[in-house]
Amino acid sequence: MLFHIETLGCQMNVLDSELASAALIEAGFALAPSREEADLVLFNTCSIRQHAEDKVYSALGRLKPWKTANPGKMIGVLGCMAQKDKESIFRRASHVDLVLGPGQLERLPGLVRDIFEARQATKVLSEEPRPPLQRLEISLDRARSGHEEVRESFRKFDPHRLPEVRENRFQAMVRIMFGCDKFCSYCIVPSVRGPEQSRDPREIEQEIRVLADQGCREITLIGQTVNSYRYKSGERTFRLPDLLETAAGVEGIRRIRFVTNYPKGMTNDLLQAVRDLPKVAPYFHVPAQSGSESVLKRMRRHYRPEEYFELLQRIRETVPGAAITSDFIVGFCGETEEEFLQTKTMVRTGRFKNSFIFKYSERPGTKAAELYSDDIPEEIKRRRNNELLEVQDEISLELNREFLGKTVEILVEGPSGKGESQLLGRTACDRIVAFDGPTELIGEFLSLEITAALPFTLLGTTSFEYKPERSVAH
């Protein structure tokens, strides 16, 4: 059986799709060359914003004629939207066969086989037309069940890592924890991803060693709030700085990143680990979400702007030259023009390498949807979004111009898409560099001189005779 997965959303979803693909392949399935040639089409979904959900329902609608013409084919909806919308997905798209939450992914191969075998049996037993067999498998609702029951309902899912299902064999994400207990008022993640659970550090280390043996050179430790990692073993409690030290000791790994961080969890020992471990990239993604104390209170972010600025100062004092990025939401419930201007001030003062800026999207089931009205008109959200982007673009360009004439080391990631000979790489501080070079460089570390700067990209050049460090198939 051939399968095809389409992924929307965050890095956690990208990793889930990779792991789901590996599990299906190990169970005897194979990747399809395209969606149209697949026997099984899966959508790994996101619920952070309404736009992401709308894209999935639109894609499902377009697939209905395909399914009608090929009734033996199967369609599945996985991930956060599956956990959030549950059986309503079947009501909106009756041709969907499987709805599977992120805490049930380990069951995917077995469920697909169950549905297929049950249909074959139905055909044998009766020639009468019957409605298609559909399966819904989700984790328990946090609001209606006990903590331990909910925790156990989000099942462990750590299949073998297969390099052929990663976009780049030399880069990999490693999940160190999943779930979230922060309950920010605007966010659906605690409901759809479940309680915070940290993986055993021995399992994480073994996975990193496997990746290194497969030729991986850069890893990214990921978690919903990655710096909340805690694992108790006997008398010892392992935290993120301990994992960074362990990962740095794995031979073959050259660069280590970690995302995404919660501001209150940015401890001094974590900053010192980044400073003292040469393999750990001097890059911090620490979402602020707003520069207004009153908005942060409505968001339930549990820190004040002054505390966030103090964090920025600590990062820059401890790790000189570190790149810092952030997230901001504009048009949150009740946001006044003065509160928005406070966010603009934070962006100007914070001088982030870049910021991911979003218009507020109300999520049913969150505290914000329950307590506040989504009362900011769309045109005001759009205007504030554009204004904040303009401020950030100016800062990004200014910071990038500081690299002119300097030499940087990049990991070459692949073609830029803007020319047959142009490649893209990324510095340790997460700056994208475009340059002309042969495709044999993909997967290698390379030094470049920066010759031009744009808000989102640096341009580089080098003169060298290419001598690969290693022999690894890309």
Confidence band (pLDDT; 50, 70, 90) for 467?
Answer: low
HSE-CB for 152 with a 13 A CA cutoff: 4
pLDDT in tens, 273-312: 999 999 999 999 999 999 999 999 999 999 999 999 999 9
Rounded CA separation 270/265 (Å): 9
Does pLDDT of 442 surpass 60?
A: yes
Would you state the pLDDT for residue 144?
87
Interval 303-328 mean pLDDT = 98
Average of per-residue pLDDT values in the chain:
93
Percentage of the chain exceeding pLDDT 90: 89
pLDDT in tens, 113-144: 999 888 777 665 544 444 457 999 999 999 88
Distances in Å between the alpha carbon of 161 and those of 185, 213, 218, 294, 366? 35, 11, 15, 45, 34
Would you state the pLDDT for residue 118?
82
Interval 18-26 mean pLDDT = 97
SS3 assignment, position 99:
strand
Would you state the pLDDT for residue 129?
44
Q: What is the dihedral of CA 75, 28, 174, 5, to 10 degrees?
A: -20
**pTM score of the predicted model:** 0.93
Torsional sign, CA 154, 155, 161, 167 = negative
Higher confidence at residue 206 or residue 144?
A: 206
Does pLDDT of 321 surpass 70?
A: yes
